[in-house]
Amino acid sequence: MFMDELMPIFKELTKQPIAFLGGFCSGILGLSLYEDPLKSWLAKQVGAESDASSAKAGNSTGPQPISIE
């Protein structure tokens, strides 16, 4: 019974261990994501990820318009 409650935590831990442990430690320490140094570190990480994803996308120049009927 106790293991059933902990299974989602273990699944997330095995998917992305560094991100999970970083979030877990910041939660334990009571660090805010909107204050430095976490804010600047997250901005760098998101910028690096978006640069990598745009390079994979090819000739994408930004958001593309869509029409919803």
Q: By percentage, how much of the chain surpasses pLDDT 70?
A: 78
Question: Which pLDDT belongs to residue 39?
Answer: 79
More confident residue, 59 or 7: 7
Q: In the structure encoding, which two tokens stand for residue 50, read together?
A: 């978006």
Q: Indicate whether this model's pTM tops 0.75.
A: no
Task: Return d(Cα 35, Cα 33) in angstroms, integer.
Answer: 6
Residue-wise pLDDT for 38-63, tens only, equals: 778 778 877 766 555 555 555 567 78
